[in-house]
Amino acid sequence: MIVGELYPLPQSGLTAILLELSPYLLTAGLAPLLVTATSARALTMASSAILFFFLLQALAGSVKAHSNNQTDLLALSVLVPLWLVGCRLISDRGWLSVRDGVICLILSATTAGWWWVIQDAGPAWVRLDEMLLVATVRDNYVLLPLVGYGAFTFALVISLVHWNQTGNRKELALHSAFLIVSFAALSLVPLETIPLTATCSLLLILIFHMVQQIYGMAFIDELTNLPSRKALNDRLKSLGRHYAICMLDVDHFSKVNNKHGHDTGDDVLKTIAKHLSRVSEGGKAYRYGGEEFAIVFANREPNIAAEAVDEIRKAVSKYRFTLRKTKRDSSDSSGITRRGTQPTKNTLKVTFSAGIAKRASGEKPEEVMKRADELLYQAKEDGRNRVYYEQSN
């Protein structure tokens, strides 16, 4: 079955007019969402991609007639993926800044320049290698030139490399979704339905991205990327009858802040959070507040949970935090590259103490946390850098 047969378009009447105008109506109706988007990068990618597909709709008639506008398809198949790659330079959060505006101008100028070059040299390139550079139309579908498929592959590889450097799966998913939708709109969707299909798909991606960001702001701690206290409270409401809770606090954290500054304190919290995120025995770590963390162990005895927490305690106590005299690099990859190159005298040792309590019959989670806190303070009074837990009955 041809894909276009799934939603054939009427050729006349009010329905045909509404379908033709639907991409514009969708974009206008979601304008408030676009304007208030919390990610300038996602907004720029969505709006620019939609404009590309509106341009393709304007070219659809001449493309079907096999006119000289084959070079337009060549330009679109190359410039769309490269534009999406360029959008990685735009800020991930907030509205467009002056820097982002300059980047958009540079990308726009580059795009216009390449469009002109391809249009001007297109006929010569076509004669040189038709299989590589010529887009064709077959049964109302566009077959991109090989260089177009190569451009999309290149853009996807760049996304994978960036993900490998940063570990940001959300950004990989966002960019991959835009690339896949753009590729499908250019080569797998009937010409008449390209604007409607692409607009709906891209706007849905943008909506899902915003929902994900809103969820992150509500349930993810921005500094440590651990689930926040609100997420912990929600988890406590759904726990079963058998669980243990660990309350954990960084030792002498106020002294770290006072002596070495809040930037170093933030580094300490982020590093400890990374260790806690790898806790074993099914534990789930949360940022409780300040320098205090909580770990929930479902269906685990306190002694088993204590072994898992003590492994992390030993790893943290052996770790040496580098004291930076200059401002911390915003790039995670550059930080990883420089790690371990600083003199040992510019390092800091940090430890934490923890207390673990098990839910007794009829107890509420708040009561379990209170007893875990008491064990935590007892561990601090006895010298810190230790894990105390309740003995099982």
Catalytic positions are 291
Give CA–CA dist 323/330, Å, rounded: 16
Cβ-contact 372, 353 below 8 angstroms: no
Termini Cα distance of the chain: 67
Give CA–CA dist 257/167, Å, rounded: 28
Per DSSP, the three-state class of 339 is coil
Q: Where are the alpha helices (DSSP H) in 220-331?
A: 229-237, 253-260, 262-276, 302-318
Beta bridge partners of residue 348, listed in sequence order: 321
Beta bridge partners of residue 249, listed in sequence order: 292, 353
Residues in contact with 186: Cβ distance below 8 Å, sequence separation at least 6, in sequence order: 56, 73, 76, 77, 80, 142, 144, 148, 194
Give CA–CA dist 41/48, Å, rounded: 11
Centroid of chain to Cα 347? 32
